[in-house]
Amino acid sequence: AQSVSQHNHHVILSEAASLELGCNYSYGGTVNLFWYVQYPGQHLQLLLKYFSGDPLVKGIKGFEAEFIKSKFSFNLRKPSVQWSDTAEYFCAVNSNAGKSTFGDGTTLTVKP
């Protein structure tokens, strides 16, 4: 069975601070990993994704994530957060059959 664990439930940062949100997954097949974001009042949308190749992937709005196979991790990072990054962030893994499993989410609050 596949599973996703996000360790931080609520993160509070000041503007310009660096961000790292943890995501660990469990899945026996080829991994397909995603980070989604839900800004206040908006739909969930894709932030970035990893299928294969370069383990460091870049997404929208300056976000990046690193796939570390040995650690079963896919952590999300941003060097300098802005107030507009306040949102809920979800890590997800897709199985080869197309079934998706999401983590519990991390709420990020950025103080201006």
Residues forming the site for another protein (CB under 8 A): 6, 9, 30, 32, 34, 36, 43-46, 49, 51, 90, 92, 94-105
Long-range contacts of 15-18 (CB under 8 A, 24+ apart): 15/80, 15/81, 15/82, 15/83, 15/110, 15/111, 15/112, 16/80, 16/81, 17/80, 17/81, 17/110, 18/77, 18/78, 18/79, 18/80, 18/81
Using the minimum distance from each CB to another protein, give the nearer residue, 42 or 112: 42
Q: By C-beta, is 19 or 90 nearer to another protein? A: 90
Rounded least distance, CB 95 to another protein, Å? 6
Task: Output 41 or 112, the one with its CB closest to another protein.
Answer: 41
Measured from the CB of residue 80, what is the shortest distance to another protein in angstroms? 26
Q: Which is nearer to another protein, 13 or 44 (CB)?
A: 44
Least gap, CB of 28 to another protein (angstroms):
13
Of the candidates 76, 12, 59, which has an alpha carbon nearest to the alpha carbon of residue 67? 76
> In angstroms, rounded to a whole number, what is the distance separating the alpha carbons of residues 88 and 37?
6
Tell me the closest approach of the beta carbon of residue 45 to another protein, in angstroms.
7
